[in-house]
Structure formats: structure tokens, C-alpha cells
């Protein structure tokens, strides 16, 4: 039976997706490298262009918007030049900034990538990873609750980069709110809060995050080992769908939402890989949209797998192109 991706992609336009997590600016310095510095054995990059892009959870919001849905982004940024620049970039993309809270106690995260001769040479990070204060946590929770109570939210994405916006309290209280309002929840986790995400509908670690989060190790990346890890995660954290991204090996999903658990394992889509930055953001975005429409696990895994592969063809963090993804999926059918 063929999946009607045309109809599915049209339905994405009706969805409101709440994205909660760490936002950042992805800054790019583009230039040419023609010599080695006389001061140290390092290349000299002559910068010809600078660009700021939305990154982290804001890149997930961009992907949601690129797929035709309405992103509602909730985060805390510094009350600094970079924080206001991030809001300006959001407005430039016609995104509402109502969910953004300014803090005078923490800087806005900026990741600057120096790209010489079309290859990334260096990344410079400006950030703090300490948890937000109790006062900020209270304000942030009130903001999240207000959005959930006043908008029709079809899914909630926790986009965690371990920068301190997502605390254990915010995670558990937001999941409770989602359950109360029958809103599906999805997670792109990192190490610090890995075990805090309990009772979520879809949990998407990569292989490294899975091993670190569960404190397990295995050399063979095969169905048997992945099933064992997914079962452990399901029993520990009561997760309905364990969705593991395996880089060049593709994706694995184990769906516990039905009486009988179902396993889907798909190979990676063969691509000319230019840059894997932001691929995880794209995967969680497409998976969350599919989950919001209550699609089956194979459809979720298929669409997300193709989307993740497509964005790896571009240099830098870029959102998915909806029409290109649709054409790829229709060609596959």
C-alpha cells in the first residue's frame, strides 16, 4: 500500500508545533585560505563574508516552518546584542517571538564556524551551560503554560543542547501539561537530562547519546543490540517510541504504543555528504510533524530518514526543502 505523502504534506500546514529548548545563533565566517601564518603553524583565513543564522531549537523551528507548519518557539536568551539579533532573525523568518524570555544573567549562545575554501576549519563557542535560575524557571514555565492554554498545540518538541534552559522541573511539568491536554511529546536529548524524559511519545537519541544515556556499550550495531537497548530505555523511562539515528547506517525505531512492539530499521539514503550539521534538527522536526498527524512508525521513520539525508548535502545548518523532500519520497514509492 502506497503512503499518500502529498496529502500528508498538505496536512502539515494545519499544525502548530511548540518547540522548547536551547536556542543559539549559528554564525558563519566565509573566506579563503592561501597561506600559513608566520606566527604559528596555522592557516590564515581571509574573511570575505559573515552571516548569522538561527540555530539549536531555533533551527528546529525553521524546519517546522519550512515544512509548512507553524512553529511556536519557547526559550531563554541573554538580554544582549546577540539575543536581540536572534529575535530579529526570527522576525525576518515571520516567526513570533512571544515565547522568548530575556535574561540579564546569561549570555545568548553563539557558535561561530570559520569556513575556508569551502571546508570548516574552526568553531568558536560563546555560551554558558549552567541551569537557569529558579526565578527564570518560574517565568519560563508560566510562559509555556500560557501558550499551551491559549493556542491549539499539535505536538511539543524538547530540543535539548545541555545549555541549561531545559531543567528537570521544566521537563516534568511540561510533560504533565502535555498529557493533560493530549499533546504528543518528542525529544531530541543530550546527556545531562537524558533520564529526565519520562512518559514521552517519541525519543530520538543518536547512537552515542543512547550509549552514554543508558551507560551501555556494544560494538555490533545490529537489530538485536538495538532492540535490547530500546527495551531498556522503554522500561526505564516509559517511552512509547524509541527512534535511534545511526548516521551512515540509517535509522531504527521501536514502537511500544501498540499491544505488540514493532521494529522498523531503514538503511541510510545514499547522499553526497557535505555537512552533517543540523541533520538531527531536521529529523526530529519531520518525525514530530508525522507524529502530530498520528502516522504509523514506518512512515515517521521513512520521512525523517530521507529528510536527514537531504540536509547533509548542504554546507552549514540549513532547514529542509519541503518540495525536494516530497519529490524524493514520491520517487521512492
Q: Which residues are catalytic?
A: 281
What would you report as the CA-atom Rg of the chain, rounded to the nearest whole angstrom?
20
Instruction: Note whether 264 and 290 are within 8 A (CB).
Output: no
Question: Do strands 70-78 and 241-245 pair parallel, antiparallel, or not at all (unpaired)?
Answer: unpaired
Question: Do strands 251-255 and 262-266 pair parallel, antiparallel, or not at all (unpaired)?
Answer: antiparallel
Exposure letters 76-90 (e unless 16+ CB within 10 A, then b): bbbebebbebbbebb
Distance CA 107, CA 165 (A): 12
Q: Which three cell numbers stand for residue 86?
A: 536572534
The DSSP symbol for 78 reads E
The DSSP symbol for 76 reads E
Task: Tell me phi and psi for residue 286, to 5 degrees.
Answer: -65, -40
Rounded to the nearest angstrom, the gap between the alpha carbon of residue 161 and the centroid of all alpha carbons in its chain is 9
Q: Which three cell numbers stand for residue 173?
A: 511539568
Residue among 45, 96, 48 at smallest CA distance from 71 = 96
Q: At what angle do helices 57-66 and 279-292 cross, to 10 degrees?
A: 50
Instruction: Note whether 253 and 241 are within 8 A (CB).
Output: yes
Amino acid at each position: 500500500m502506497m503512503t499518500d505523502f502529498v496529502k500528508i504534506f498538505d496536512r502539515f500546514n494545519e499544525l502548530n508545533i511548540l518547540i522548547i529548548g536551547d536556542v543559539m545563533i549559528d554564525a558563519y565566517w566565509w573566506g579563503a585560505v592561501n597561506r600559513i601564518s608566520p606566527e604559528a603553524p596555522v592557516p590564515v583565513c581571509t574573511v570575505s563574508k559573515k552571516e548569522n543564522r538561527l540555530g539549536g531549537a531555533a533551527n528546529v523551528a525553521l524546519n517546522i516552518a519550512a515544512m509548512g507548519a507553524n512553529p511556536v518557539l519557547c526559550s531563554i536568551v541573554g538580554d544582549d546584542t546577540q539575543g536581540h539579533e536572534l529575535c530579529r532573525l526570527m522576525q525576518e523568518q515571520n516567526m513570533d517571538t512571544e515565547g522568548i524570555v530575556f535574561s540579564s544573567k546569561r549570555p545568548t549562545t553563539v557558535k561561530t564556524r570559520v569556513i575556508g575554501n569551502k571546508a570548516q576549519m574552526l568553531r568558536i563557542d560563546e555560551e554558558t551551560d549552567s541551569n537557569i535560575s529558579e526565578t527564570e524557571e518560574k517565568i519560563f514555565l508560566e510562559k509555556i503554560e500560557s501558550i499551551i492554554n491559549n493556542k491549539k498545540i499539535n505536538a511539543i518538541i524538547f530540543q535539548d543542547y545541555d545549555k541549561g534552559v531545559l531543567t528537570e522541573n521544566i521537563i516534568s511539568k511540561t510533560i504533565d501539561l502535555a498529557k493533560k491536554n493530549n499533546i504528543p511529546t518528542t525529544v531530541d536529548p543530550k546527556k545531562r537530562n537524558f533520564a529526565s524524559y519520562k512518559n514521552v511519545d517519541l525519543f530520538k537519541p543518536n547512537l552515542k547519546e543512547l550509549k552514554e544515556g543508558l551507560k551501555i556499550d556494544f560494538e555490533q550495531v545490529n537489530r538485536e543490540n538495538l532492540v535490547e537497548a530500546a527495551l531498556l530505555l522503554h522500561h526505564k523511562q516509559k517511552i512509547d517510541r524509541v527512534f535511534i539515528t545511526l548516521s551512515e547506517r540509517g535509522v531504527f525505531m521501536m514502537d511500544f504504543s501498540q499491544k505488540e512492539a514493532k521494529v522498523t530499521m531503514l538503511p541510510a539514503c545514499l547522499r553526497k555528504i557535505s555537512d552533517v550539521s543540523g541533520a538531527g534538527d531536521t529529523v526530529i522536526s519531520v518525525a514530530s510533524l508525522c507524529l502530530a498527524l498520528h502516522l504509523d512508525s514506518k512512515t515517521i521513520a521513512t520521512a525523517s530518514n530521507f529528510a536527514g539525508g537531504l540536509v547533509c548535502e548542504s554546507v552549514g545548518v540549513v532547514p529542509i526543502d519541503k518540495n525536494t523532500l516530497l519529490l524524493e519520497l514520491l520517487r521512492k514509492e
